[in-house]
Structure 1
Amino acid sequence: MTLDFTSDHAAPAHPAVLAAVAEANRGRTPSYGADPWTREAERRLRQVFGPTASYVPVFNGTGANVLALSAMTRRWESVLCAEDAHVHTDETAAPERAGLKLVLAPSPAGRIRPGGLAPHLAPGNRHRAQVSVLSLTQSTELGTCYDVADLRALCAEAHDLGLAVHLDGARLANAAATLGVSWAELTTAVGVDVVSLGSSKNGGLLGDGLVVLDPGTVPGIEFLQKAVGQLPAKTRFVSAQLLALLEDDLWHRNAEHANRQASRLAAGLGALPDVGLPVPTEANAVFVDLAAPVADRLTQDVALTTWRASGERRLLRLMTAWDTDPADVDRVVALVAAALGAGRPKRADQVCSSPTAPAVPRP
């Protein structure tokens, strides 16, 4: 099988990242974050996010989320998140295993809408876990993006209700590239308190990080990081990767390429008959609804994710990455066309592009 659209994690590390790791692999240096690479990464991140930002390198995105949310909550508190948030659907109950109660909010097209947080809280009710954190996923698990206005409204609403705000930014780069804004405009400027900053899905080798924007929301995080097994000994190798991605905006170029290939794939598939695109393609994920026989034939030639199987239809997810070849995108479209026996394309008004398309729940 030569075509792999399962995940942006399936992509190799960017050569610049590998070169940075090799360069860091010289001589001896202090460990556990005291190395020059980690100090430089924090300095650079302060230039990006603001002068009070601090950087916590970790092993992976799940670890970043669990560490952040654990530090942001007390034992009787809970986390409000989208019903299809990554922390709920794709982290194998890691938050629950860490003692975190997740409270789910409706999320049309993957996004929690502003104005609806209060009904999920039960302030003062000793029989209910007290919500203390709002966690948002950017870009969302359905490949859509929160725009700046909605983020600002959600953060203001959360803070007014006494909640801190965590942003799961495993694909923050893709969202920023789509919206044409900086990381700071999607985080610091709108009131986010803690960011799980992803790099492994955007050209990194391994390791991600936390960026703490309000240290008051994560008391004792330096101790908790060790306690939950997320303190790398050789932090220089995690931080060197981040520095490579920050150099000359490599993070943006990688994300922009991935997004562009997703748009190309969505446009090609959307022009075929009997092909549904139930949510808009806003980052680097394409969700496509196909008849079961067509989907089954496609999966013989393309590695992808079957998101939902319902009766005679299949909802498939295809992810693009920094290294996705446009020719491979076109091959996927051709394979679907061949499976359909396609003859005439859809009209333009039949291709879904509305940001208010219905949500696509995952079982």
Structure 2
Amino acid sequence: MKSLASDNYAGAIPEVIEAIQTENRQHAPAYGNDATTKRLEEQFKALFQRPLEMHLTFNGTGANLMGLSCMVHPYSAVLCAETAHIYVDESTAPETLLGCRLIPLNINKAGKLTPTVIEHAIKRQGDLHHPQIHVLSITQPTEYGTVYTLDELKAIKAITQKHKLFLHIDGSRIFTAATSLGCNLKALIDASEADVLSLGGTKAGMLYGEAVLIFNETIHNSPFFHKRSMQLASKNRFIAAQFLALLHHDTWKKYSSTTIKRAKQLAACLSEYPIISITKPVEANAVFAILPQRWIKPLQAILPFYVWDESNDEVRFMCSFDTTEAEINLFDKKLAELSKASIESNL
């Protein structure tokens, strides 16, 4: 059964499977000392047109925490959205591994951090009684599937530079963000001047694997943090090969375009029913909506999805690279059946 619960539920794109099979035909040095890993790093440097250090990790939590660990001290604080994955969905791993404080900030109606909120949170710098804010972490796209525009990223950059903060981007779905904005990854980094990017591969169609890209040349000793975070793969080349498949001829763009198209299709279907409220702008591959509670289980039987907020029956639909038009149509058919039954029951 397919699912609208998460793009983590999907398998891998064919190009990734082929790349792994090709890589599997040979032996190569371990721990990233192989030609495939080196080729990927050079490709990232060419893509972003700037120096960088690359470290590959198994998963998103590992990527976020490995990247953040390069920028903090035991007395540091990291600002993030109240909905941020590092604050809500990574258990106590951030506090345990980083050994510092996360400070959640209020988001606006679109699920984004605003310059005003960020600026207000930066205080008591230099006060030894207060955790020292050293990093701002943003998620692109946000946890609500909305996308920071290039101008919004530039405004955030101005604040981090003014207060001499590091900027971390949790980009678990950043390929989708770039497609939504009609730009490449370089444009996102140029606008934000991010110091560290957690670049997502799993949700983009890889079997597993993420990349930590360090753009700030003042950040030292990242290989040691990579090892310390327990994210250094002995067969590192199998992650690298998957990323190379995504980057080859912008393969990522073909699949992220499909995820966005399906999300827009689903949103259009939901909009046909006045009893349903779409709660957030549909900009990437997520749709958030409030459904009649009695509709949730019958719809989950067609295509499973998560209830995001049980207090008001807000749900999250997440489209994947292999979500089809026919599956959305099937879901819409069930919506029509439920709507008809509701109308008849009120007659």
- Does the alignment reach a TM-score above 0.5? yes
Paired position in structure 2 for 1:107: 107
Of 167, 182, 189, which residue of structure 1 is paired with 2:184? 182
Paired position in structure 1 for 2:294: 293
Moved more, 90-99 or 173-182: 90-99
Distance in 2, matches of 1:208 and 1:3, equals 24
Report if the CA contact (8 A) 1:188-1:213 is conserved. Answer: no
Paired position in structure 2 for 1:96: 95
Distance in 1, matches of 2:319 and 2:220, equals 37
Paired position in structure 2 for 1:144: 146
Report if the CA contact (8 A) 1:272-1:342 is conserved. Answer: no
Paired position in structure 2 for 1:65: 64
User: What is the aligned-residue identity percentage?
Assistant: 35
Paired position in structure 2 for 1:167: 169
Tell me the matched-pair count.
340
Tell me the TM-score normalized by structure 1: 0.91
Distance in 2, matches of 1:194 and 1:272, equals 42
1:245-272 CA distance string (max 9 Å, x none): 0011111111111011001100111111
Distance in 1, matches of 2:171 and 2:150, equals 14
Report if the CA contact (8 A) 2:80-2:102 is conserved. Answer: yes
Q: What SS class does the counterpart of residue 295 from structure 1 fall into?
A: helix
Distance in 2, matches of 1:85 and 1:285, equals 16
| Equivalent residue letter for 1:155 | K
Distance in 2, matches of 1:227 and 1:199, equals 22
Report if the CA contact (8 A) 2:112-2:148 is conserved. Answer: yes
After superposition, the CA RMSD in angstroms is 1.5
CA shift for structure 1 position 336? 1.9
| Equivalent residue letter for 2:255 | N
Paired position in structure 1 for 2:246: 245
Alpha-carbon spacing, 1:100–1:336, altered in 2? closer, same or farther (3 Å) = farther
| Equivalent residue letter for 1:105 | L
1:317 paired to 2:316: yes
Q: What SS class does the counterpart of residue 102 from structure 1 fall into?
A: strand
Report if the CA contact (8 A) 1:117-1:158 is conserved. Answer: no
Distance in 1, matches of 2:322 and 2:260, equals 11
1:130-165 CA distance string (max 9 Å, x none): 110010100000000000000011012111111010
Distance in 1, matches of 2:185 and 2:206, equals 17
Q: What SS class does the counterpart of residue 210 from structure 1 fall into?
A: strand
CA shift for structure 1 position 224? 1.1
Distance in 2, matches of 1:220 and 1:277, equals 46
Report if the CA contact (8 A) 2:82-2:104 is conserved. Answer: yes
CA shift for structure 1 position 342? 7.3
CA shift for structure 1 position 235? 0.8
Report if the CA contact (8 A) 2:151-2:191 is conserved. Answer: no
Report if the CA contact (8 A) 1:110-1:141 is conserved. Answer: yes
Paired position in structure 1 for 2:46: 47
Of 122, 125, 128, which residue of structure 2 is paired with 1:126? 128
Paired position in structure 1 for 2:20: 21
| Equivalent residue letter for 1:247 | H
Q: Runs of 5+ in structure 1 lacking a partner?
A: 345-363
1:164-213 CA distance string (max 9 Å, x none): 10000000001000000110111134311110000110110111111111
Report if the CA contact (8 A) 1:50-1:188 is conserved. Answer: no
Q: Runs of 5+ in structure 2 lacking a partner?
A: none
| Equivalent residue letter for 2:238 | F
CA shift for structure 1 position 343? 9.5
Q: What SS class does the counterpart of residue 187 from structure 1 fall into?
A: helix
| Equivalent residue letter for 1:280 | P
CA shift for structure 1 position 103? 0.7
Report if the CA contact (8 A) 2:75-2:100 is conserved. Answer: no
Paired position in structure 2 for 1:153: 155
| Equivalent residue letter for 2:88 | T
CA shift for structure 1 position 331? 1.4
Aligned pairs (5 A) from 1:203-352: 203-216=205-218, 218-310=219-311, 313-341=312-340
Distance in 2, matches of 1:202 and 1:186, equals 17
| Equivalent residue letter for 2:222 | I
Distance in 2, matches of 1:144 and 1:87, equals 17
Alpha-carbon spacing, 1:125–1:325, altered in 2? closer, same or farther (3 Å) = same
Report if the CA contact (8 A) 1:172-1:197 is conserved. Answer: yes
Report if the CA contact (8 A) 2:286-2:316 is conserved. Answer: yes
Deviating above 4 A after TM superposition, structure 1's stretches of 4 or more consecutive aligned residues are none
1:9-52 CA distance string (max 9 Å, x none): 11111111011011111222111111011110011101111230
1:77-132 CA distance string (max 9 Å, x none): 01001111111111122212212311111111211012332321221222221110
